[in-house]
Amino acid sequence: MVGEPLVINVGPQHPSTHGVFRLKLTLDGERILDCEMVMGYLHRSMEKLAEERTWTQNIPFTDRTDYLSAMTGNLAYCLAVEKLAGIPVPPRAHWIRTIMAELQRFASHCMAIGTFVNDCGAWHTPLLYMMREREKVLDLFELACGARLTTNYMRIGGVARDLPPEFLPRLRELVKELPQRIAEYEELLVENEIIVARARGIGVLSAEQAIAYSVSGPMLRGSGVAWDLRKANPYAAYEQVEFDIPVGVHGDCYDRFLVRLAEMRQSVRILEQALDMIPSGPVQTPVPLALRPPPGEAYGRIESPRGELGFYVVSDGGPSPFRFHIRSPSLINLTPLPEMVRGLTVPDAIITLGSIDIVVGEVDR
């Protein structure tokens, strides 16, 4: 029987779109003939708003682009402005930034893996296990800057304030605990028959495609491309720490999941080293409140939990940016989705979307 294909909207209100994002699937039975992405439901016009505010006032915006990874947003923006204005950063601030970025990566990957497994149909159990550890990371953030989610901690030329004295001992405690927690997740998930059956060979993105779509982050590494800005273009204190880049082989959902899990381990490794190597000293270079960088442009980029997060800022010598652009990894990682899910079934599309790990705040900005 030949009939019309069925068009269903996954989203904007749907349990597994991770925000307000819409996926228009054209189906033949359960098989996907075509997939169209509709985004913009969370557009807040950040790039335009930023042109009206001073350079420092823009830092809270960077929290709110990728709200699951506020620290890295702060960091990327501050790096860009520091590059533009030529502001040095004291070494202790570099290390604090590294610690915060890695903690944030751990917390963000907790959410990424948890929601991915949720999309595979687990009834919240792995997610809630990971939330438990994420809570502890957020407690540390709260200790350092008073906020848990939208931290607003980094400043141009350093960080807002020095770490409180109890921060490092508590971090040390957490770092001791985390490896066994990660081992717990691995035991629960990596060899889980159902997860292997569901995610293996699904949503395949080959290395060529990944590069052609300029995908980045765990998604690129899941496709077997060893690329990490922390190594390729070191910033903060990453040059001084040792870590490995986890790389997948087959570029499927399962590999992306494995890469994230392995990156959590590497983050803990970096944190361990940072705990021993963090120097004392000032944490901020004095910067005028109404900073006026010289006319010019700069691009600051970091390896955020989702990929290459870049801030392109242009100054005309005024107190606010002339142009402020965010190269958001979520948006760019999302672009190959239709190609990845064509020919698969609805559940596959859902877990493929889950494995990309988007934050809609960052997709739409």
How many residues of this chain interact with another protein, rule: CB under 8 A?
61
Q: Which of the residues 299 through 358 are near another protein (CB under 8 A)?
A: 345-348, 350
- Residue 94 CB, shortest distance to another protein, in Å, is 21
Q: Provide the token pair at 355.
A: 């494995």
Q: Name the residue among 239, 204, 198 with its Cα closest to residue 224.
A: 204
From candidates 128, 149, 277, 290, binder to another protein by CB under 8 A: 128
Q: Which of the residues 222 through 261 are near another protein (CB under 8 A)?
A: 223-228, 231-232, 244-252, 254-255, 258-259, 261
Q: Which of the residues 97 through 126 are near another protein (CB under 8 A)?
A: 117-125
- Residue 110 CB, shortest distance to another protein, in Å, is 13
Question: How many Å apart are CA 276 and CA 65, to the nearest integer?
Answer: 32
Would you count residue 364 as binding another protein (CB under 8 A)? no
Would you count residue 21 as binding another protein (CB under 8 A)? no
Q: Which of the residues 256 through 275 are near another protein (CB under 8 A)?
A: 258-259, 261-262
CA distances from 365 to 29, 40, 54, 79, 331 (A): 35, 8, 19, 19, 9
CA distances from 207 to 62, 223, 312, 359 (A): 30, 5, 26, 23
* DSSP secondary structure, 147-206, as one string: -SSS---EETTEESSPPPTTHHHHHHHHHHHHHHHHHHHHHHHTT-HHHHHHHTTSS---
Q: Name the residue among 215, 221, 210 with its Cα closest to residue 263.
A: 221
Question: How many Å apart are CA 272 and CA 239, to the nearest integer?
Answer: 15
From candidates 8, 149, 277, 290, binder to another protein by CB under 8 A: 8
Would you count residue 6 as binding another protein (CB under 8 A)? yes
Q: Which is nearer to another protein, 225 or 236 (CB)?
A: 225
Beta-carbon neighbour count of residue 237 at 10 Å? 23
Q: Which is nearer to another protein, 145 or 253 (CB)?
A: 253
Among 75-83, 202-210, 291-299, 305-313, which window interacts with another protein (CB under 8 A)?
A: 202-210
Would you count residue 212 as binding another protein (CB under 8 A)? no
Which residues, in sequence order, are CB contacts of 11 under 8 Å at separation 6+? 17, 20, 21, 22, 23, 38
Binding site for another protein (CB under 8 A): 6-8, 14-16, 30, 117-125, 128-129, 132, 190-192, 194-198, 200-201, 204, 206-207, 221, 223-228, 231-232, 244-252, 254-255, 258-259, 261-262, 345-348, 350
